[in-house]
Structure 1
Amino acid sequence: MKRFKFYLMAALVAATTCAGFTSCSDDDDAESTVNPATRVVNETKKHDTAILLCTFGSTYNESLAVYADVIADFKAKFPNTDIYMSFTSRTCIGRAEASTGEARYKLDQWLKAIGDAGYTRVAVQSLHVIPGEEYLSLMNTDVKKNFMIDWYPHIDVLKGANLLSTDEDTEAVADVLYDHYKDKLVDKNHLVLLMGHGNPDKNYNANQKYSDMQVALQARAANKNIFVGTVDYGDMLFWPKEEEEKPVDRIPASQIGNYPGCIYSQVMKYCSDNNLEPKDVTVYLSPFMSIAGDHAHNDLWGIEAIAEGDDLSKVELNTNEFSWRERLEKIGFNVDREFEAHPVGQAGADHGIKDGCGIKALGSYPAIRQIWVNHLYENWNDEDAWENGEGYQPE
């Protein structure tokens, strides 16, 4: 009873306090529901067509320069449009704004602000690498169902595909990457390892894009010393995990041959096939992702571990708890820390650094960024490619 009286008194005090302060007023409640992206769109709008670039997002400073380059490329190709960029990750939105001070908004806020601004045409361009779960959710739910059908059926919409949407895209990206690494690949004692994100759900065929990329790259490299793995797809992790009712954290070394797609199996087989010991091999690491963010810094390079000094005795190979670099060095490989890496002296910087990081992501290549641009441009003047939701409305 005493506890009930206490809560009742607290509620009365809170009600009285709200009545005395404007922060609890109905006006402020209404103001708090105003879409913050509306002001940005209203201040930006100069044309009848808008382009919304959609990416997962990042909290790392290194990514900002890449995003700026992407926006510049689209502005150059589509001069008579207003261009916006949305993060699809709510976590990245909040953390990026906290670390950079630049306001970021949710995808639905951007879409509603753009829809309310009076645009007659809206193009949505994915900056995803593969057509995975996130890409399909963007195009089928956020854009088609919500924007086109439920909210703004009168607005014409053009959807731009992800980076590796066709076999031709795979070949084009492979050309760019091989040209960049070909000097390293001439030597059998060198390996190039690329880390993609991956889609954890095996029901999505999107992960096949990584295997296709490896095939295309190895077709160009005479020594076949370039491999593609992922940070999130079981069959292509550094050391695989099985998906059962309960995740299995450890797989016996004797069973590693059952997972030929994992990076450990592939690099060890490469050494065996070429009569090499790990100590004889230098490895170059790079993210196969649009930007160099959290996965590139931590899961690939283990930046924090570099900052604290490596204690390789703590690294266990048969888990996925340590970076590729740490586990490779534990095995005995020489990982090149100078070529396209994060400066060791600044490894402890929160959310990366603005200048001086050498980690090169897919968005760092102008020719690869143009593939995203071309996905939108190839249908830009095709009126049949622009769709609206009026045909889905009930009569």
Structure 2
Amino acid sequence: MKKLLSMLVMASMMVFALGTMGASAAAKAPKNDKAVVVVSFGSTFDDTRTKDIGGIEEAVAKAFPNRDFKRAFTSYIIMERLEKNKGIKVNDLPATLKELKKAGYKDILVQPTHLLHGEEYEHKVLTTVDKFKGDFDRIVVSDPLMVGKNDFAIAASAVATQFPTLGKGEGVVLMGHGSPRDNNQSFGNTYKMLQETFDKMGLPVVVGTVEEVDTPNVDEVLEQIKARGYKTVHMFPLMIVAGDHANNDMYGDEEDSWKSMIEKMGVKTVGHLQGIGRNAAVQAIYVQHAVAAEASVQR
């Protein structure tokens, strides 16, 4: 009887052990080895970081349910301020890729939220990815918002969905960032090409850049407003986020802000402090670029 009882106890223990092993094996089942990284300049403004950058991230993540999502920023100043002042830790692209490699990911899709192939995209994204080419089975980089001639009409139409209904004498001013290295050499300056696109579409839009050494700069913007005879201009940032440039350089109260300079001309201004990142039509363009990149033969 004791022998039978002992055998039953041992059998129960074996069943329990097998069940535990099964649960453990299930917990350690092979995870997904694909990831998508959305890399942005970043922002310390909570609202714009959530709605503008977050809007694109959410759209891309939703489009690739087969990939784990990761966020990366390129601005070290923003990353440092976020961690120091708000306790928010965001890695740069190199650190993010190192983590993915360590975790065993093999297939990486990188989607930047940059507007053009400029200095940030080239040095912070392309150069970084090149250094990690041998660390994954596959790592591909998608395009920024505007990189080819066909992108301009699509991007202009997407941005225009944010414009209000305009009356007589009203126009729109878009403030872009500008880039010291605008590599869209097949058609020249990105912002001038976008201006030509809006003109062809018959939309009363003036495009400029906040960097005075870039073109078209604020002086050219003021000249265009005067030449077109606008009485009221609606001002938008042509940037993913409505951060410092939008709130201060574009629509701040300082004498050297675009708002102040335009109003000094006797023109009324209306500020729209929303980045284009929260624009669903703009998000869709980034998703399309990402889908095309994933389908490409890049390695």
TM-score range, shorter chain: 0.7 to 0.9
> Does structure 1 residue 226 correspond to structure 2 residue 205?
yes
Residue 343 (structure 1) aligns with = none
The structure-2 alpha-carbon separation of the partners of 1:179 and 1:81, relative to structure 1 and needing over 3 Å to count, comes to closer
Structure 1 residues 229-378: aligned runs within 5 Å: 229-232=208-211, 233-239=213-219, 262-271=220-229, 281-302=231-252, 305=253, 315=255, 322-337=256-271, 340=272, 359-378=273-292
Q: How does 1:94-113 map to 2 (within 5 A)?
A: 94-113=80-99
Q: Tell me if the contact between 1:126 and 1:162 (Cα under 8 Å) persists in the aligned partners.
A: yes
Cα distance in 1 for residues equivalent to 2:144 and 2:182: 19
| In the alignment, structure 1 residue 84 sits paired with structure 2 residue 65 | no
TM score, norm. by length of structure 2: 0.82
Superposed, which structure 2 residues align to 1:202-221 within 5 Å? 205=185, 208-221=189-202
Superposed displacement of residue 123, structure 1? 1.0
Distance 1:80 1:203 in 2: 33
- Whole-angstrom CA distance in 1 between matches of 2:31 and 2:274: 34
1:93-139 Cα deviation digits (max 9, x unpaired): 01123343321223221121112111111111111001101111134
Deviation string, structure 1 residues 320-372 (Cα, Å, up to 9, x no partner): xx1100111122111125xx3xxxxxxxxxxxxxxxxxx22211211111111
| Match of residue 157, structure 1, among 136, 139, 149 | 139
SS in 2 for 1:181: coil
Give structure 1 stretches of 5+ with no counterpart: 1-44, 240-261, 272-277, 316-321, 341-358, 388-395
Q: Give the letter for the 1:231 counterpart.
A: V
Query: Highest relative contact order (Cα 8 Å, sep 6+), 1 or 2?
Result: 2
Q: State the Cα distance separating 1:373 from its structure 2 match.
A: 1.1
* Distance apart, 1:234 and its partner CA: 2.8
Q: Which residue of 2 aligns with 1:196?
A: 176
- Per-residue deviation at 1:172? 1.0
- 1:291 is aligned with what amino acid? V
What SS does the corresponding residue of 1:192 show, helix, strand or coil?
A: strand
The residue matched to 2:44 in structure 1 has which SS? Answer: coil
Equivalence for 1:136 = 122
Whether contact under 8 Å (1:62, 1:293) holds in the other structure is no
State how far apart, in whole Å, the 1-side matches of 2:214 and 2:106 are.
Answer: 44
Q: Deviations over 1:262-302 (max 9, x none)?
A: 2122112222xxxxxx7xx0111000011111111111111
Aligned structure 1 segments of 4 or more residues deviating by more than 6 angstroms: none
> Would you say the 8 A contact 1:178–1:220 is kept in 2?
no
- 8 Å Cα contact 1:55/1:86 also seen in 2: yes
| CA–CA distance in structure 2, aligned partners of residues 100 and 112 of structure 1 | 24
Give 1:204 shift. 7.1
- Contact 1:46 / 1:82 at 8 angstroms: preserved in 2? no
Q: Over residues 124-174 of structure 1, what are the superposed CA-to-partner deviations in whole Å (9 max), with x where a residue is unaligned? A: 111100110111113431111x2115xx1x431111110101222211121
What's the counterpart of residue 350 of structure 1?
A: none
Per the TM alignment, residue 175 of structure 1 is displaced from its structure 2 partner at its CA by 1.4
Distance 2:162 2:53 in 1: 21
Question: Do the aligned partners of 1:130 and 1:207 also contact (CA within 8 Å) in 2?
Answer: no
| Aligned equivalent of 1:117 | 103
Q: Are the aligned partners of 2:44 and 2:81 in contact in 1 as well (CA < 8 Å)?
A: yes
| Change over 3 Å in CA distance of 1:114–1:171 after alignment to 2 | same
Equivalences, count = 267
Cα shift at 1:182? 6.3
Q: Name the SS of the counterpart of 1:79 in structure 2.
A: coil
Q: TM (normalized to structure 1)? A: 0.63
- Contact 1:290/1:361 (<8 A) preserved: yes
AA aligned to 2:267 is F
Mapped contact 1:129–1:289 kept (Cα < 8 A):
yes
Contact 2:119–2:182 (8 Å) recurs in 1: no
Distance 1:289 1:62, change over 3 A: same
Residues 207 and 57 of structure 1: is their aligned pair in 2 closer, same or farther, counting only changes over 3 Å?
A: farther
Distance change in 2, residues 1:180/1:59 (3 Å): closer
Secondary structure (helix, strand or coil) at the match of 2:128 reads helix
CA contact (8 A) 1:230 1:237 kept: yes
- Identify unmatched segments of 5+ residues in structure 2: 1-29
